[in-house]
Structure 1
Amino acid sequence: MTLFALILALVLEQARPLPDDNPAHAALRAWAAAARRWLDAGQWQHGWLAWALAVLLPTVLALLIYGLLNWVHGLLGFAWAALVLYLTLGFRQFSHHFTSIRVALESGDEAAARAELARWQGVEVAELPQQELLRHVIEHSVLAAHRHVFGVMVAFVVFAAMGLGPAGAVLYRMALHVARHWSVRTAVEVEDTSASAARRGWRVVDYVPVRATALAFAVVGNFEEALANWRQEGSLTKGNDGLLLAASAGAMNVRLGSGPPLGEPLYSPELGWSESDARVPQLAHLATMVGLVWRGVLLWLLLLALALLARAW
């Protein structure tokens, strides 16, 4: 049922993508905000309690509903798993930004591409050189593909293999949401306890999925370069994002980097990008990234299909 639930959710998400203001996501956002407001009283244990209530309670609720429906009839449990995946998977939640930027660049309208990237990430990119613009588009798209697609798939499959239905998908997306929206600092520049708990919790939840995504990209891309980057660059960076970008850069044979934030160039201000460097981000790398993502999705579906056949035999 895991494979068919994934396929059904992917097809539904492509045919009828959810709007950003859909009721399900709005309700979960409101719940997370309420949990933080109610329980974060300034102590570290309060931050973790708020995180647990915001993230784990919806996860347990999704599991209980799955168990009840699956007990009534297996098809009801399957329908619930597919519905939860439809609500948590998100190809179309980021792909329209990427598509608009790619179309603008291919048509020569670089100003429109810069404006779309600024709207997507909420930062000023007007002064970025074109190679830096392309680098940031690729980086943000790789991270978005992982967080909205591959990470959800991996969490769902792992939990489903343990008989926990779609609970993993809910856990992953709720942990991502609170990590993204609780990263607020106080007036004295000290991170509050709920934001710290959200950041640490997200690092733990994403530990296995991000490595599974990096491995998938390595398999469907330039395997040797991806593993070399993983060992050399990923080990030097702090956080899961750096590891994923290192492996992705090797898989696509392009220069990426998670160190400088958006707006700070990867290249030297004195030397710029080396024109002889074949790994300088080019417009063609956008198409390479799209192919990498879709091959990664097909790889996961193929592995699940093989597991299904092996289990049937």
Structure 2
Amino acid sequence: MTFLSILCALLIEQLKPLRADNPIYGGIKLLAARMELWFNAGHAHHGKLGWFLVMAALMVPTALIYWLASRVSPFAALAWNILIVYLTLGFRHYSHYYSSIQLALNSGDDAAARILLAEWTKQDTSTMESSEIARIAVEKALVTTHRNVFGVFFWFLMPVGPACAVMYRVAEYLARAWNEPEHMKNEAFGVFAARAFYWIDWIPARLTAIAFAIVGNFEDAIYAWRNFASRWQDEAVGIILAAGSGALGIRLGTPLQGAANVMPVDPTTLDTTELESDAAPGEEPTARALQSTVGLVWRALLLWMLLLLLLSVAVWLG
């Protein structure tokens, strides 16, 4: 049932993509904002209480309906599973941005690509060159695909899968909503949400990196993972992007991320061998890298689906 639920949800999303600004997500955002307004008194334990209340408000009804549907018939449970997977997946939430950026870069219209990237990432892109636009688009796509697809897959495999899938997506949103906005930075309220998602995403992030390595350049992906993942402040993001960069053969991340303090030296006495070994492998991203990223993501998706199919067959036969 798990494999069939995910397959049906993916097919439905291909035909009818769910917009990122849909009413369901809007309601969750409103609930999170209300919890922050009601409970944020500047202490970490208030954030912990708010986090558990949000989770209870969303997971308990999801699990209860799943239990009731299972009692009615397997088809009712399957329908509920498909609905929840469809709502929690976001495979095509932002694909229009990515595709439009790819088309703009291929046609040499960097200005249009900058505007699209700014709308997607909410960053200042006014001075970005085409290689930087491509790099950020690839990074955003890899991380978004992990959090909107592969992380959901993992938690949907757990007992009471629909509730666990909801937990993963909501935990990811709370970690962002209660930490990233300017008024929430350095606030104790979001500490627990960030830490909770760190552990919730610990295994899925590594499975996604392994999938990228298997369907891409395995040796370079593992090498980049082992040697360059720590350059990102976010550990999970670092693992995913390092493995993705090695799998694709392109250089992701910026020199400022995790770079050591550099002291001026005499160039004639500088040993460049060590510096070269510290350089991330791969080439500078180009417009072609965006197409390669699409291929990597689809191959990783097919790998996940194959593993889910084998697992479902094993459970059915066992």
Give the TM-score category using the shorter length: 0.7 to 0.9
Q: How far apart, CA to CA, are the structure 2 residues paired with 1:282 and 1:20?
A: 27
Alignment equivalent of 1:297, drawn from 301, 307, 310: 301
The corresponding residue for 1:166 is: 162
Residue 282 of structure 1 is aligned with which of 278, 286, 290?
286
Structure 1 window deviating more from structure 2 (37-46 vs 291-300): it is: 37-46
Give the deviation of 1:186 after TM superposition: 7.5
Q: 1:232 to 1:7 in 2, by over 3 A?
A: same
Q: How big is each residue's C-alpha offset from its partner over 1:30-80, in whole Å with a ceiling of 9 and x where there is no partner?
A: 122222222222222111111111234312321121112112211111111
8 Å Cα contact 1:32-1:55 kept in structure 2 = no
Contact 2:117–2:137 (CA under 8 A) maintained in structure 1? yes
RMSD: 2.1
Q: Which residue identity does 2:82 align to in structure 1? A: A
Is residue 217–residue 246 contact of structure 2 (8 Å, CA) maintained in 1?
Answer: yes
Q: Does 1:105 align with 2:109?
A: no
* 289-298 or 54-63: bigger deviation: 54-63
Task: List runs of 5+ in structure 2 lacking aligned partners.
Answer: 258-275
User: CA contact under 8 A between 1:245 and 1:258: conserved in structure 2?
Assistant: no
Number of positions where the alignment pairs a residue of Structure 1 with one of Structure 2? 294
Partner of 1:307: 311
Stretches of structure 1 lacking an aligned partner (at least 5 in a row): 262-273
Q: 1:86-101 maps to which residues of 2 (within 5 A)?
A: 86-101=86-101
Structure-2 separation of matches of 1:117 and 1:219: 29
Q: Give the aligned partner of residue 256 of structure 1.
A: 252
What displacement does 1:288 show?
A: 0.7
CA distance in 2, matches of 1:21, 1:212: 28
Deviations 1:91-141 (Å, cap 9, x if unpaired)?
121111100100111122111011100111111112122222211111111
- Structure 2: how far apart are the matches of 1:173 and 1:105? 31
| CA deviation vs aligned residue, 1:134-167 (integer Å, no higher than 9, x gap) | 111111111111111111112212x1xx3x1311
Q: Normalised by the size of structure 2, how large is the TM-score?
A: 0.87
SS at match of 1:19: coil
Q: Does 1:203 align with 2:198?
A: yes
Please name the residue that 1:266 is paired with: none
Distance 1:246 1:15 in 2: 32
Tell me which stretches of 4 or more aligned residues in structure 1 moved more than 3 Å: 184-187, 235-238, 258-261
Q: 57-66 or 277-286, which moves further after superposition?
A: 277-286
| Alignment map for 1:48-197 (pairs within 5 Å) | 48-157=48-157, 159=158, 162=159, 164-183=160-179, 191-197=186-192
Q: Provide the TM-score with structure 1 as the length reference.
A: 0.88
After superposition, residues 238-257 of structure 1 pair within 5 angstroms as 238=233, 239-257=235-253
Preserved contact between residue 184 and residue 191 of structure 1 (Cα < 8 Å): no
Amino acid at match of 2:214: V
